[in-house]
Amino acid sequence: MKAIIQEKYGSPDVLTLDDIEVPTPNEKEVLVRVRGASVHAGDWHLMRGTPFVIRLVFGGLFRPKVKVLGTDMAGEVEAIGSQVTQFQPGDAVFADLSTSGFGAFAEYVVVPETAIAPKPSNLNFEAAATVPVSGIAALQALRDQGQLQPGQQVLINGASGGVGSYAVQLAKAMGAEVTAVCSTSKLAMVRSLGADHLIDYRQEDPTQTGQQYDLIVDAAAYRSVTDYQPVLKPTGTYILVGGSSRQLFQTLLLSPWLTRRMHRSIKVLQSEPNRADLMELKRLIEAGQVKPEVDQSYPLSQVPQAIRQLEARQVKGKLAIVV
Protein backbone atom coordinates (compact mmCIF):
# COMPACT_ATOMS: atom_id res chain seq x y z
CA MET A 1 0.00 0.00 0.00
CA LYS A 2 1.00 3.63 -0.42
CA ALA A 3 1.85 5.63 2.70
CA ILE A 4 3.62 8.82 3.71
CA ILE A 5 6.78 7.70 5.52
CA GLN A 6 9.00 9.60 7.95
CA GLU A 7 12.48 8.27 8.76
CA LYS A 8 13.91 11.35 10.49
CA TYR A 9 12.77 14.59 12.12
CA GLY A 10 12.68 17.77 10.12
CA SER A 11 10.70 19.92 7.70
CA PRO A 12 8.01 18.51 5.37
CA ASP A 13 10.89 17.51 3.10
CA VAL A 14 11.47 14.45 5.35
CA LEU A 15 8.09 13.02 4.31
CA THR A 16 8.08 10.65 1.33
CA LEU A 17 5.44 8.59 -0.44
CA ASP A 18 6.46 4.92 -0.37
CA ASP A 19 5.14 1.36 -0.54
CA ILE A 20 4.77 -0.60 2.70
CA GLU A 21 2.91 -3.76 3.70
CA VAL A 22 -0.78 -3.66 4.54
CA PRO A 23 -1.09 -4.14 8.34
CA THR A 24 -2.95 -7.13 9.79
CA PRO A 25 -5.51 -6.59 12.58
CA ASN A 26 -5.38 -8.64 15.75
CA GLU A 27 -8.50 -10.17 17.31
CA LYS A 28 -9.73 -6.84 18.74
CA GLU A 29 -8.75 -4.59 15.85
CA VAL A 30 -10.28 -3.39 12.61
CA LEU A 31 -8.49 -2.90 9.29
CA VAL A 32 -9.80 0.30 7.71
CA ARG A 33 -9.35 1.34 4.11
CA VAL A 34 -8.59 5.03 4.55
CA ARG A 35 -10.66 7.28 2.30
CA GLY A 36 -9.95 10.63 3.98
CA ALA A 37 -7.54 12.17 6.46
CA SER A 38 -6.67 15.65 7.70
CA VAL A 39 -3.65 17.58 8.93
CA HIS A 40 -3.37 19.52 12.18
CA ALA A 41 -0.72 20.98 14.46
CA GLY A 42 0.09 17.66 16.08
CA ASP A 43 1.29 16.34 12.73
CA TRP A 44 3.93 18.99 12.26
CA HIS A 45 5.07 18.70 15.91
CA LEU A 46 5.60 14.96 15.44
CA MET A 47 7.24 15.54 12.07
CA ARG A 48 9.73 18.06 13.47
CA GLY A 49 10.14 16.40 16.87
CA THR A 50 9.51 19.72 18.60
CA PRO A 51 8.99 20.64 21.34
CA PHE A 52 11.46 18.03 22.58
CA VAL A 53 8.92 16.51 24.98
CA ILE A 54 7.17 15.10 21.89
CA ARG A 55 10.11 12.74 21.46
CA LEU A 56 9.89 11.65 25.10
CA VAL A 57 6.15 10.96 24.89
CA PHE A 58 6.08 9.14 21.55
CA GLY A 59 9.56 7.63 21.56
CA GLY A 60 12.50 8.16 19.28
CA LEU A 61 14.92 10.68 20.76
CA PHE A 62 16.99 10.85 17.59
CA ARG A 63 14.78 9.15 15.00
CA PRO A 64 10.98 8.92 15.04
CA LYS A 65 9.35 5.68 16.08
CA VAL A 66 6.09 6.82 14.50
CA LYS A 67 6.84 6.16 10.83
CA VAL A 68 3.40 6.95 9.41
CA LEU A 69 1.80 10.13 10.72
CA GLY A 70 -1.86 11.09 10.52
CA THR A 71 -4.43 11.25 13.30
CA ASP A 72 -7.75 12.23 11.69
CA MET A 73 -9.21 9.38 9.65
CA ALA A 74 -12.39 8.35 7.84
CA GLY A 75 -12.80 5.23 5.76
CA GLU A 76 -14.42 1.84 5.23
CA VAL A 77 -13.94 -1.28 7.32
CA GLU A 78 -11.99 -3.76 5.20
CA ALA A 79 -11.56 -6.62 7.68
CA ILE A 80 -12.20 -7.31 11.36
CA GLY A 81 -10.52 -9.35 14.10
CA SER A 82 -12.16 -12.46 15.52
CA GLN A 83 -13.39 -10.66 18.66
CA VAL A 84 -14.75 -7.54 16.96
CA THR A 85 -18.53 -7.35 17.40
CA GLN A 86 -19.66 -3.79 16.57
CA PHE A 87 -18.42 -3.39 13.00
CA GLN A 88 -18.55 -5.33 9.76
CA PRO A 89 -16.65 -5.01 6.46
CA GLY A 90 -18.10 -2.16 4.44
CA ASP A 91 -19.07 0.01 7.44
CA ALA A 92 -18.18 3.69 7.08
CA VAL A 93 -16.27 4.91 10.14
CA PHE A 94 -14.18 7.80 11.45
CA ALA A 95 -11.65 8.10 14.28
CA ASP A 96 -9.01 10.07 16.17
CA LEU A 97 -5.88 7.88 16.11
CA SER A 98 -3.76 9.95 18.52
CA THR A 99 -3.86 7.21 21.17
CA SER A 100 -4.01 4.34 18.68
CA GLY A 101 -0.67 4.51 16.92
CA PHE A 102 -1.43 7.16 14.25
CA GLY A 103 -1.09 6.01 10.61
CA ALA A 104 -3.89 7.86 8.77
CA PHE A 105 -1.57 9.05 5.98
CA ALA A 106 -1.79 5.67 4.29
CA GLU A 107 -4.19 3.58 2.21
CA TYR A 108 -4.92 1.24 5.15
CA VAL A 109 -4.65 1.49 8.91
CA VAL A 110 -5.30 -0.88 11.81
CA VAL A 111 -7.41 0.57 14.62
CA PRO A 112 -8.74 -0.82 17.92
CA GLU A 113 -12.49 -1.43 17.71
CA THR A 114 -13.02 0.90 20.67
CA ALA A 115 -11.40 3.86 18.86
CA ILE A 116 -13.77 4.15 15.89
CA ALA A 117 -17.36 5.27 15.43
CA PRO A 118 -19.84 5.28 12.53
CA LYS A 119 -19.22 8.18 10.14
CA PRO A 120 -21.83 10.97 10.04
CA SER A 121 -24.22 9.92 7.29
CA ASN A 122 -24.47 13.40 5.75
CA LEU A 123 -20.71 13.86 5.26
CA ASN A 124 -18.44 12.40 2.62
CA PHE A 125 -15.20 10.77 3.77
CA GLU A 126 -13.16 13.85 2.99
CA ALA A 127 -15.23 16.12 5.24
CA ALA A 128 -15.73 13.51 7.96
CA ALA A 129 -11.96 13.09 8.30
CA THR A 130 -11.60 16.72 9.40
CA VAL A 131 -13.87 16.25 12.42
CA PRO A 132 -12.33 13.95 15.07
CA VAL A 133 -9.25 15.70 16.52
CA SER A 134 -10.44 19.30 16.29
CA GLY A 135 -14.07 18.49 17.03
CA ILE A 136 -13.26 16.50 20.17
CA ALA A 137 -10.86 19.19 21.38
CA ALA A 138 -13.48 21.91 20.94
CA LEU A 139 -16.21 19.82 22.57
CA GLN A 140 -14.13 18.90 25.62
CA ALA A 141 -12.85 22.46 26.05
CA LEU A 142 -16.36 23.94 26.09
CA ARG A 143 -18.38 21.21 27.78
CA ASP A 144 -15.97 19.48 30.15
CA GLN A 145 -13.34 22.01 31.15
CA GLY A 146 -15.33 25.16 30.49
CA GLN A 147 -18.66 23.87 31.87
CA LEU A 148 -20.34 26.18 29.37
CA GLN A 149 -24.01 26.93 30.14
CA PRO A 150 -26.81 28.40 27.98
CA GLY A 151 -26.77 32.19 28.00
CA GLN A 152 -23.12 32.51 28.99
CA GLN A 153 -20.70 34.63 27.03
CA VAL A 154 -17.68 32.96 25.45
CA LEU A 155 -14.69 34.44 23.64
CA ILE A 156 -13.02 32.17 21.09
CA ASN A 157 -9.57 33.29 19.97
CA GLY A 158 -8.35 31.64 16.78
CA ALA A 159 -11.95 31.13 15.65
CA SER A 160 -11.03 30.55 12.01
CA GLY A 161 -8.77 27.55 12.69
CA GLY A 162 -9.61 23.88 13.03
CA VAL A 163 -10.53 23.81 16.72
CA GLY A 164 -11.85 27.37 16.66
CA SER A 165 -14.27 26.77 13.78
CA TYR A 166 -15.80 23.82 15.62
CA ALA A 167 -15.79 25.70 18.93
CA VAL A 168 -17.86 28.56 17.47
CA GLN A 169 -20.52 26.15 16.25
CA LEU A 170 -20.55 23.97 19.35
CA ALA A 171 -20.81 26.98 21.66
CA LYS A 172 -23.81 28.21 19.67
CA ALA A 173 -25.37 24.74 19.83
CA MET A 174 -24.95 24.91 23.63
CA GLY A 175 -26.84 28.18 23.74
CA ALA A 176 -23.94 30.54 24.41
CA GLU A 177 -23.36 34.06 23.09
CA VAL A 178 -20.19 33.80 21.00
CA THR A 179 -17.57 36.43 20.28
CA ALA A 180 -15.04 35.19 17.73
CA VAL A 181 -11.53 36.56 17.14
CA CYS A 182 -9.77 36.16 13.78
CA SER A 183 -7.99 38.13 11.06
CA THR A 184 -9.61 40.38 8.46
CA SER A 185 -9.55 37.88 5.59
CA LYS A 186 -11.34 35.23 7.65
CA LEU A 187 -14.18 37.30 9.11
CA ALA A 188 -16.75 36.25 6.50
CA MET A 189 -16.08 32.56 7.05
CA VAL A 190 -16.36 32.84 10.84
CA ARG A 191 -19.55 34.89 10.52
CA SER A 192 -21.03 32.08 8.43
CA LEU A 193 -20.42 29.67 11.33
CA GLY A 194 -22.86 31.62 13.49
CA ALA A 195 -20.70 33.86 15.69
CA ASP A 196 -22.74 36.63 17.37
CA HIS A 197 -19.87 39.12 17.46
CA LEU A 198 -16.60 39.38 15.54
CA ILE A 199 -13.29 40.96 16.50
CA ASP A 200 -10.63 41.55 13.85
CA TYR A 201 -7.46 41.35 15.91
CA ARG A 202 -5.61 43.38 13.29
CA GLN A 203 -7.94 46.29 14.04
CA GLU A 204 -8.89 45.79 17.68
CA ASP A 205 -7.25 44.23 20.76
CA PRO A 206 -9.68 41.61 22.13
CA THR A 207 -8.24 42.07 25.64
CA GLN A 208 -9.08 45.80 25.69
CA THR A 209 -12.74 45.83 24.64
CA GLY A 210 -14.22 46.31 28.11
CA GLN A 211 -16.49 43.29 27.57
CA GLN A 212 -16.12 40.40 30.04
CA TYR A 213 -16.65 36.71 29.36
CA ASP A 214 -17.62 33.63 31.35
CA LEU A 215 -15.28 31.49 29.25
CA ILE A 216 -12.29 32.18 27.01
CA VAL A 217 -11.13 29.43 24.66
CA ASP A 218 -7.70 30.33 23.32
CA ALA A 219 -6.99 28.25 20.24
CA ALA A 220 -4.25 30.64 19.08
CA ALA A 221 -2.27 31.38 22.23
CA TYR A 222 0.57 33.65 21.15
CA ARG A 223 0.29 36.11 24.04
CA SER A 224 0.35 35.75 27.82
CA VAL A 225 -2.73 34.44 29.57
CA THR A 226 -2.45 37.35 32.01
CA ASP A 227 -3.37 39.72 29.16
CA TYR A 228 -6.89 38.28 29.29
CA GLN A 229 -7.51 39.07 32.96
CA PRO A 230 -9.42 42.33 32.23
CA VAL A 231 -11.94 40.55 29.99
CA LEU A 232 -12.44 37.40 32.08
CA LYS A 233 -15.20 37.54 34.68
CA PRO A 234 -14.17 36.91 38.32
CA THR A 235 -15.90 33.52 38.14
CA GLY A 236 -14.68 32.88 34.58
CA THR A 237 -12.43 30.23 33.05
CA TYR A 238 -9.58 30.55 30.55
CA ILE A 239 -8.65 27.43 28.57
CA LEU A 240 -5.54 27.23 26.41
CA VAL A 241 -6.13 24.86 23.50
CA GLY A 242 -3.40 25.68 20.97
CA GLY A 243 -0.73 28.19 20.02
CA SER A 244 2.96 28.63 20.65
CA SER A 245 4.91 25.98 22.55
CA ARG A 246 6.23 28.68 24.86
CA GLN A 247 2.74 29.77 25.93
CA LEU A 248 1.59 26.16 26.23
CA PHE A 249 4.32 25.14 28.63
CA GLN A 250 4.26 28.41 30.52
CA THR A 251 0.55 28.08 31.17
CA LEU A 252 0.76 24.35 31.88
CA LEU A 253 3.52 24.78 34.45
CA LEU A 254 2.18 27.97 36.01
CA SER A 255 -1.59 27.34 35.89
CA PRO A 256 -1.96 26.78 39.67
CA TRP A 257 -0.01 29.99 40.39
CA LEU A 258 -1.84 31.89 37.64
CA THR A 259 -5.19 30.72 39.02
CA ARG A 260 -4.29 32.14 42.45
CA ARG A 261 -2.84 35.33 41.02
CA MET A 262 -5.70 36.09 38.65
CA HIS A 263 -8.42 34.72 40.97
CA ARG A 264 -9.85 32.93 37.97
CA SER A 265 -9.69 29.37 36.69
CA ILE A 266 -6.77 28.84 34.27
CA LYS A 267 -6.57 25.51 32.42
CA VAL A 268 -4.72 23.79 29.57
CA LEU A 269 -6.79 21.40 27.48
CA GLN A 270 -5.60 17.82 27.34
CA SER A 271 -8.22 16.23 25.12
CA GLU A 272 -8.91 12.51 25.30
CA PRO A 273 -10.32 10.81 22.19
CA ASN A 274 -13.25 8.51 22.85
CA ARG A 275 -16.14 6.97 20.96
CA ALA A 276 -18.82 8.71 23.05
CA ASP A 277 -17.63 12.14 21.92
CA LEU A 278 -17.35 11.00 18.32
CA MET A 279 -20.97 9.86 18.56
CA GLU A 280 -21.99 13.23 20.02
CA LEU A 281 -20.28 15.05 17.16
CA LYS A 282 -21.98 12.69 14.71
CA ARG A 283 -25.37 13.56 16.26
CA LEU A 284 -24.77 17.31 16.05
CA ILE A 285 -23.51 17.09 12.46
CA GLU A 286 -26.46 14.99 11.32
CA ALA A 287 -28.80 17.46 13.07
CA GLY A 288 -27.25 20.30 11.06
CA GLN A 289 -25.88 22.13 14.12
CA VAL A 290 -22.22 21.59 13.23
CA LYS A 291 -20.48 21.34 9.87
CA PRO A 292 -16.84 20.97 8.85
CA GLU A 293 -15.23 23.98 7.21
CA VAL A 294 -12.87 22.48 4.61
CA ASP A 295 -10.54 25.08 3.14
CA GLN A 296 -8.75 22.85 0.64
CA SER A 297 -8.17 19.20 -0.21
CA TYR A 298 -4.93 17.47 -1.20
CA PRO A 299 -4.17 13.97 -2.49
CA LEU A 300 -2.15 11.67 -0.24
CA SER A 301 1.05 12.39 -2.18
CA GLN A 302 0.79 16.09 -1.27
CA VAL A 303 0.64 15.74 2.53
CA PRO A 304 3.95 17.67 2.79
CA GLN A 305 2.41 20.62 0.92
CA ALA A 306 -0.66 20.53 3.17
CA ILE A 307 1.52 20.64 6.29
CA ARG A 308 3.49 23.57 4.86
CA GLN A 309 0.25 25.49 4.36
CA LEU A 310 -0.89 24.67 7.89
CA GLU A 311 2.43 25.78 9.39
CA ALA A 312 2.07 29.09 7.56
CA ARG A 313 -1.25 29.62 9.43
CA GLN A 314 -3.09 30.49 6.23
CA VAL A 315 -5.89 27.94 6.63
CA LYS A 316 -9.59 28.66 7.09
CA GLY A 317 -10.99 25.73 9.03
CA LYS A 318 -9.38 22.45 8.02
CA LEU A 319 -7.27 20.90 5.26
CA ALA A 320 -8.44 17.50 4.04
CA ILE A 321 -6.42 14.66 2.56
CA VAL A 322 -8.14 12.51 -0.06
CA VAL A 323 -6.82 8.95 -0.05
**Of 59-63, 249-253, 265-269, 300-304, the least confident:** 249-253
Confidence of residue 257 (pLDDT cuts 50, 70, 90): low
CATH class held by domain 133-268 = alpha beta
* CA distance to 9, 158, 206, 209, 307, per residue, from 245 (Å): 17, 16, 21, 27, 17
Which helix or strand (DSSP H or E) is residue 297 part of?
A: strand 294-299
Residues of the chain with CATH 3.90.180.10: 2-131+292-322
Residues of the chain with CATH 3.40.50.720: 133-268
The pLDDT value given to residue 249: 66
What topology is assigned to 2-131+292-322 in CATH?
Quinone Oxidoreductase; Chain A, domain 1 (3.90.180)
The 3 state secondary structure assigned to 80-148 is: ECCCCCCCCCCCEEEEECCCCCCCCCECEEEEEHHHEEECCCCCCHHHHCCCHHHHHHHHHHHHHHCCC
Taking all residues of the chain, what is their mean pLDDT, rounded to a whole number? Answer: 93
- What three-state secondary structure class fits 174? coil
pLDDT at 215 over 90: yes
pLDDT at 150 over 70: yes
Mean pLDDT of 122-148: 97
The pLDDT value given to residue 253: 65
pLDDT at 319 over 70: yes
Taking alpha carbons only, the member of 39, 238, 240 closest to residue 134 is 39
The pLDDT value given to residue 55: 87
d(CA 304, CA 217): 29
- Please give the share of the chain, as a percent, with pLDDT higher than 90: 78
pLDDT at 47 over 80: yes
The pLDDT value given to residue 290: 98
Task: Label the pairing between strands 108-112 and 153-157.
Answer: unpaired
